[in-house]
Copies of this chain bind each other. A is one copy, B any other.
Amino acid sequence: MDAPQETGLHLLARKLNLHHRLSEDDQLAIVVLPHKIRRLEALSYILRESDRPDRCAVLIDGYAFRHKLTGDGSRQILSINIPGEALDFQNLFLEEADHNIQMLSRGVIADIPREAIEALILAHPEVGRAILITALIEASIFREWVVNIGQRDSRSRIAHLLCEFAYRLNTQDLGVDDAYQLPITQEQLADATGLTPVHVNRVLLALQREGLIERKRRMIRFPSWERMQDVADFNPRYLHRLDAGTNMHQANGAV
């Protein structure tokens, strides 16, 4: 067994540092934050709409997703989260949660008490700043999703989601070269893009026939990142990486 108690929050420090440079001292303050490790099964809920958030869950291992249900029961997936991401910055400072957060796969999270975060922000203003910036970048991603769902056809739409996910994985050093494991089913992909599962399936097969993606099992590979980026109309500016401009397949010199 590994020791997530010792390594888990390093991922968070690393993630925050990607968007706002932090001193060694500030990073250390994050790593030593009090927290409780929990192992969760796939589909278990981390937070439900209308809950009062009182702790901040940080994803250590596995994947999670945000979603919201409409009155007629359909589900819109709002984000797919990867290890190192804090799941509750969007809710922690508000009175009640406006969406659900659920594990996608089985995994591990670290729960940090709200008060510990508050104290951290007071003692380390730059960390507070990093949290603000990270929350604003999440908002930027939501805006891009509005654009993606509102304006792009199904082909670009799905390609865009695949590009974003690849790029973010790569940012966190979780991609294996140019291939990666897509942790979601086609039905979930449908709920994330506002399409039906049947149509998602047809689009994936079409992208494959065109040679834009290769798939075996849940593994996805882009034979040409450029062509894919082009089809997806993907411009990573909205992800606000500090070292943007660097080629995605050699980046991550930081930390």
Which residue numbers of A lie inside 8 Å of B, CB to CB? 49-50, 66, 68, 70-72, 74-76, 78, 89-90, 93-96, 98-99, 129, 132-133, 135-140, 142-147, 149-152, 193-194, 233, 235, 237-238, 240, 242
Contacts and interface: CB of A to CB of B under 8 A. Distances in A.
Contacts of A98: 140, 143-144, 237-238, 240
A134 to B, nearest CB: 10
Contacts of A147: 68, 70, 76, 78
A151 B76 contact: yes
B237 A76 contact: no
Contact of A149 (B68, B74, B194): B194
A137 B91 CA distance: 9
A3 to B, nearest CB: 33
Contacts of A238: 98
Chain copies in the assembly? 2
Contact of A194 (B90, B94, B150, B233): B150
A156 B176 CA distance: 42
18 contacts: A70-B147, A76-B146, A95-B240, A95-B242, A98-B143, A99-B143, A132-B132, A132-B135, A135-B136, A136-B139, A138-B139, A139-B142, A142-B142, A142-B143, A142-B145, A145-B146, A150-B193, A151-B194
Contacts of A240: 94-96, 98
Contacts of A132: 93, 132, 135
Contacts of A99: 140, 143
Contacts of A136: 89-90, 93-94, 135, 139
Nearest to A194: B150
Nearest to A19: B94
Nearest to A68: B147
A115 to B, nearest CB: 15
Contacts of A89: 136
Contacts of A74: 151
